[in-house]
Structure 1
Amino acid sequence: KFTYMNMLWLRHPEQLADLSLDMNYDPMRRYDSVDAKLQGQLQDLRDIIPRKFHKEFENHMFWKEFKKQMQQQCSNGISQIRLYAGPAIFDCKASDLATVTGRMRFKEEIGFVEEADGTTRYKALCPILYKEYEGRHDKTKIFLNPALFQAQHVLSADNQLQPIGASTNIPYQDDMEYYLKYLNKGLLTEDHHVLAIFQAWNDHFYPNS
């Protein structure tokens, strides 16, 4: 549940065993530093895991196993999406998502760019994040593409969903934190563009609420 509802990976989970709760923690600055990210993770985990298990947080083996199980859930989830939901989400054939070669046709949609010197990379603000992408960042359209849920990895050449793609070198964890920082800050400052994103998805998933 934590993997799907909170975050796909933990940042430096081995450090959480020795981390104390910071009563001055500021959610606004959660993604500004590694220390803030660690504290944010700890705060989330204390909220979602029953109090009777909090003593296990001091056990390094607990975090090693927790990390292992989170990675397993990531792999299970992405495999199921590719196998059962991917073709409908992306309007393609199942065979297009079944192999690395097949998924390469989507590389531009998930941010692949080739620089003038021939080097290549995947940009975080990739076309698939936007509704009706027009070649540039538009804060009125970002995160409003209906095909967003785990879309970047579903379409990538990477077989496993890991913090850094083994084949593409896409920094999935860094990108995820970049997106979360954008959304988190927008919520806390009541940015109307970010509030509109949440309203759009609420309307999509809970149309009668």
Structure 2
Amino acid sequence: QKFEVTHALWLHEPTRTFQTSLDNEYDPLDRFDTIGSKLQGQLRDIMDFRDGMQEQRSNMASRLRARGAAIFQCTEGDLRVSHVRREKFGERIGRAEGPDGSLIYHPWNAEILHSNYAGKFDVKSVFLNPILQKTISCIIRGPASVILMNEGEPSRATRNNETMDLKWGLDHTTPGMIAASAVLARWTLSPDDYFKERGAESGIHWHEDFDNYLQFLLSGLKKQKRSVLHIFRQWDMALFPNTEHGLAGQLTNTGRDQLMQSVMAALDEDEDELAE
């Protein structure tokens, strides 16, 4: 379950993945450049894990739907039946009319992904809908943490027993966490009864959407895009306000690198004692 929440909901070509040798030159920020790099990324994520992914994925999704009333500000009955979800939440998860007049679900033009949604994808507000943070909080800290977030407080556990974030050692937001929350939140409101790679009722390619979200986030981190770094800062403020390991902080703190470059340059300019 930790793997699915923090890294990936599905695997690409699982058989081929385990036939792949480790590439020591692999860069995790290049994960989506080629099929080979996708496999390398997966291999590192799951070298010691594979069994139980489908069962854990389904259990996680079903629990979200059972406890989703507080997250999505609706009734339990709204989430219980497929046709009710279709009618009540379709537009929130991206339902629109396609070019041929048929109904489609757009992976990016979805209210549930954005804060201050204005009807279309916005790079400055995507993945900033608090519902997404509440979705992950429910998984790692329990549904009571969502109640606190609804009252304007940061996410925290209310039980004395050890919660998933403590068991898993989570101390900052990961790209997989955000991508998983986006897919899980959309699925919870979708007409699909079962969480599969492709929704039987909606036709949504959930696995493909997850990959697209993850690619967007990893690319933004690699290029240090302000919008993506802002996403990670906002998520850490809500979920891990005391973190010292946030990805936005790590990747934007260039001062140390620049200082090291100047130190090494000075060393290069120093005379070689053996040359005297």
Range into which the TM-score falls when normalised by the shorter chain:
0.7 to 0.9
Asked if 1:99 is matched to 2:100, the reply is: no
What CA deviation, in whole Å up to 9, does each residue of 1:146-171 have, x standing for no partner?
A: 11232100000111111111111101
Question: Is the CA contact 2:18–2:43 (under 8 Å) kept in the aligned structure 1?
Answer: no
Instruction: Report matched runs for 1:168-179 at 5 Å.
Output: 168-179=202-213
- Counterpart residue number, 1:56: none
- After superposition, where does 1:152-171 map in structure 2 within 5 Å? 152-171=186-205
Give structure 2 stretches of 5+ with no counterpart: 133-180, 244-276
Out of 195, 198, 206, the residue aligned to residue 229 of structure 2 is 195
Give the secondary-structure state (helix, strand or coil) at the position aligned to 2:24: coil
Q: TM-score, normalised by structure 2?
A: 0.65
TM-score (norm 1): 0.85
Q: Deviations over 1:31-61 (max 9, x none)?
A: 1333221111002224xx3xxx9xxxxxxxx
Q: Residue 113 of structure 1 is aligned with which of 96, 119, 124?
A: 96
Give, in whole Å, the separation in 2 of the partners of 1:116 and 1:24.
43
Deviates more, 1:125-134 or 1:19-28: 19-28
Task: Report the residue type matching 1:186 in the other structure.
Answer: G
1:59 equivalent in structure 2: none
Give the aligned residue type for 1:79: S
**What's the offset of the Cα at 1:198?**
0.3
Which position in structure 2 is the counterpart of 1:124?
107
CA distance in structure 1 between the aligned counterparts of 2:99 and 2:41, rounded to whole angstroms: 39
Determine helix, strand or coil for the equivalent of 1:147. Answer: helix
2-structure distance, mates of 1:3, 1:207: 23
Deviations 1:168-200 (A, max 9, x none): 110111111111111111112211111100000
For the residues of structure 1 that align with 2:18 and 2:97, how far apart are their CA atoms?
A: 42
Percent of aligned positions that are identical: 39
- Matched residue of 2:92: which SS? coil
C-alpha distance in 2, partners of 1:22/1:106? 44
Which segments of structure 1 move beyond 6 Å, counting only runs of 4 or more? none
Number of residue-to-residue matches in the alignment: 190
Provide the residue aligned with 2:145 in structure 1: none
**Which residue number corresponds to residue 123 of structure 2?**
139
Question: Partners of 2:214 and 2:99 in 1: how far apart?
Answer: 31
Once the two structures are superposed, residues 73-120 of structure 1 have per-residue CA deviations (whole angstroms, 9 ceiling, x without a partner) of 111011111112x11111111000011012111011111111242222
**In 2: Cα distance, 1:156 partner to 1:23 partner:** 41
State yes or no: 1:72 paired with 2:72: no
| Equivalent residue letter for 1:136 | K
Work out the CA distance in 2 between the residues paired with 1:17 and 1:37.
12
Partner of 1:58: none
Aligned residue among 151, 169, 188 for 2:185: 151
After TM superposition, the structure 1 stretch with the greater mean CA deviation from structure 2, 112-121 or 96-105, is: 112-121
Q: Which residue of 2 aligns with 1:19?
A: 20
Q: What is the aligned partner in structure 2 of residue 83 from structure 1?
A: 66
SS of aligned partner of 1:121:
strand
